[in-house]
Amino acid sequence: MLHPRRRRDTGVPIPNSLVPFVNSGGEHFTDRDHELAGYSASMPHCPNPESGKYHGQMVPDHQGREAARPHPPQRGAADSVIEMRGLSKRFGDLVAVDALDLDVHRGEVFGYLGPNGSGKSTTIRMLFDFIRPSAGTYTVLGGSGADPAIRRRVGYIPGELRFDPRYTTSDLIAFYGHLRGDIDTTYVDELLARFDLDPARPIGQLSTGNRRKTAIVQAFLHRPELLILDEPTAGLDPLLQHEFHQLIGDVTRAGATVFLSSHVLPEVEALADRVAILRTGRLVTVAAVDELARHARQHIDLHLAGEASAEPFDKLPGVVRATASGAVIRLVVEGNLDAVLKAAATLPVRRIVTHETDLEDAFLDFYRDQP
């Protein structure tokens, strides 16, 4: 059974179940919290299984006009699409997000990294005004995330999806198309084909992966200039993850900005220009992906001509760990290698093997000393 809530100003009943951007963390939300992506005071009845379906026609905006889509921004422009200054959120004694200072630049893919519970989803909820900051300020596309006009320019995939099982993908497309306006139906059809979605099937009959694909289509269908994505590929098989990565490349080449919150490190490494690493609500670092990988701890194997001992390396500056097994000394080194190479030159080294570092190595370095 649907449980409609009434808009304060119009009395139009809106089924909560058609709004996937819902509480998944225990906070109390108000009517205003669900006005995402331009959900204005004149929101119509949500489509039902018998009417209002997407049938490949231009969907007008909520005022009956074909809304003008903003010109795509130029990739690499210096202005910030998201700004956070001292942004904080407390839940009682728990500090979920602690004094974030962060800028996301126009045209980039920005990775937002951290394990579960580090504050990633809480940050996103503040950007949309789902929950209010305890301190600090933020802007999204130069304005407030609570502004319906700003929300129409944003595509959003929440980490947890809750669609009414009786509705279909076509129902959702019609619903969000009505809210956002100026929907290119050819592009929507391409998205449906790209992710192999049958728009006529009820959501309740879809697998977890197909529900995630439905969320992807609704986020991208209006060609937003900013995409805020919370674990967007959770539940997708590797082939569809690859297709999603291709889609991200397509939209960023067209000028879109992507804020990608994830704990899937290979995905972020493949897609992101820069990353921020969050630990227990605090910003640990912000850097380009390749820069982080370069500064990660290095793993080096020294193959000797005879029995090996790690003792010459135990006390050297920058050596985090030194172990020996048979004729091989295995080192984990942080920073400059000069001292290690000088010590190695005094030994009968037959071969030196270095292991390429990546974003995962850098990420683990930041968390290695966490209590």
Give the DSSP letter string of 261-293: EES-HHHHHHH-SEEEEEETTEEEEEEEHHHHH
Rg for the chain (alpha carbons), in Å? Answer: 25
Strand ranges of the sheet holding 135-140, from the earlier edge strand across to the other edge:
94-105, 80-91, 135-140
Q: How many whole angstroms separate alpha carbon 265 and alpha carbon 325?
A: 31
**Distance (Å, whole) CA 318 – CA 337:** 8
Distance CA 107, CA 271 (A): 13
Tokens of 298: 């290095």
Give, rounded to a whole angstrom, the gap between the first and last alpha carbons of the chain.
47
pLDDT at 365: 61
| Residue ranges for the chain with pLDDT beneath 70 | 1-78, 293-296, 335, 356-371
Nearest to 46 by CA among 10, 18, 27: 18
Give which of 307, 317, 366 is closest to 337, Cα–Cα.
Answer: 317
CATH assignment of 80-293? 3.40.50.300
Token pair recorded at residue 108: 């980039």
Name, in order, each residue with C-beta under 8 angstroms of 253's C-beta and a sequence gap of 6 or more.
Answer: 75
pLDDT at 122: 93
- Distance (Å, rounded) from C-alpha 222 to C-alpha 216? 11
- The Cα–Cα gap between 168 and 235 comes to 19
Residues 301-319 have pLDDT tens digits of 899 988 889 889 988 888 8
Residue 295: what pLDDT?
Answer: 62
| pLDDT in the model for residue 87 | 95
- The structure tokens listed for 306 are 């005879």
* Longest CA–CA separation in the chain, Å: 84
C-alpha span between 305 and 348 (Å, rounded): 6
Instruction: Read off the tokens for 253.
Output: 């080449």
Please state, in angstroms and as integers, the Cα–Cα distance from residue 320 to each residue in 154, 173, 234, 297, 303, following that order: 44, 53, 35, 8, 19
Q: Which residues pair with 15 in a beta bridge?
A: 4
pLDDT of amino acid 328: 93
Q: Are 1 and 165 in contact (CB under 8 A)?
A: no
The domain segmentation of the chain, as residue ranges, is 80-293, 297-357
